[in-house]
Structure 1
Amino acid sequence: MAATQKTLPTNVDPHEFIAAATPEKRRVDGEALEKIFSEVTGEKPVMWGPSIVGYGTYTYVSPSNPKNTGIWPKTGFSPRKAQLSIYGLKDLPEGAALLPQLGKYTEGAGCVYVKKLEDINVQVLKKLIAIAAARPDQGAS
């Protein structure tokens, strides 16, 4: 039986979400990221669950269980209190190869963590976002 997807698109305004981010540095960086992601992807931001600002969508198929499918943003971010979480940058081989040039970051299972935008190369970030935004839809046949 396929698992029920918990994180889905919502009708929450992403700009209001970003404006409410704390501390102030997280809000400022979140606003800057929103501009960068919108410019690079050409997509409007959509809130996914309570805390992810996503761009584009694709249908994923779990490699370990092909019956486990769902939709997910191609790329996105969350201005979390402790750090910025950026999604989709390392999912594709081309992005994973470019990631070491990003600057100062750490990795989680599905995202990259950045303390502040000044720690990373924004031009490399834009390339990584473009790679993620061009992701093919795994569920397409």
Structure 2
Amino acid sequence: MKPTAGSVAGFIAGVTPARRQRDADTLIGIMSAITGHDPQLWGTIIGFGSCHYRYPTGNEGDMALLAFAPRRSASTIYLTSTQAHADALARLGPHKTGVGCLYISDLTTVDETVLRGILEKTYAFAMGGGDENVRITVTG
């Protein structure tokens, strides 16, 4: 995946419902503060910074260091793994998870301090080069 040309503000303006726009603005503030990067569109994903990843299986690609997507039903926050955050997720508030995704339907219902901690840990993992399960090289 690569960043695409496009206006983040223009993209967010077209997101529905309005609550998702509000949550996107909040997530942009949090992720920008953590990474020091401006948001970029990666298709319909809003990402911050970039890296190249490679699994021991040989699968590899490019992704943002931190990213989320404002989907109609929930904000999807991309993590390297939700298992690495089990303790924090228990304290977060209402959410759902997938293998590497955190789904929040209303950001005002979760503990923002806990969410920041999860995002900081995810960013630190990427900046540290990953682990034996995935190697990460920061590219931007």
Tell me the equivalent position of 2:66.
75
4+ aligned runs moved over 6 Å, structure 1: none
CA shift for structure 1 position 84? 0.8
RMSD, aligned α-carbons: 1.9
Please, which of 118, 122, 131 is the counterpart of residue 128 of structure 1?
118
Distance 1:91-1:114 versus aligned 2 partners, 3 A rule: closer
5+ unaligned residues in a row in structure 2: which ranges?
A: 130-134
Please, which of 10, 13, 26 is the counterpart of residue 20 of structure 2?
26
1:114-139 deviation line (CA, Å, top 9, x unaligned)? 11012211011111111112223324
Q: Quick check: 1:44 aligned with 2:38?
A: yes
1:65-94 deviation line (CA, Å, top 9, x unaligned)? 22x21111122111111111011263583x
Structure 1 residues 1-141: aligned runs within 5 Å: 7-49=1-43, 51-63=44-56, 65-66=57-58, 68-88=59-79, 90=81, 93=84, 95-134=85-124, 135=126, 136-137=128-129, 138-140=135-137
Q: Distance in 1 between matches of 2:123 and 2:70?
A: 19
For normalisation by structure 2, the TM-score amounts to 0.81
For normalisation by structure 1, the TM-score amounts to 0.81
Q: Distance in 1 between matches of 2:51 and 2:90?
A: 25
CA shift for structure 1 position 96? 4.2
5+ unaligned residues in a row in structure 1: which ranges?
A: 1-6
Q: Distance in 2 between matches of 1:28 and 1:139?
A: 31
Q: Distance in 2 between matches of 1:122 and 1:88?
A: 16
Matched letter for residue 15 of structure 1:
A
Which structure shows the bigger proportion of residues in strand conformation?
2
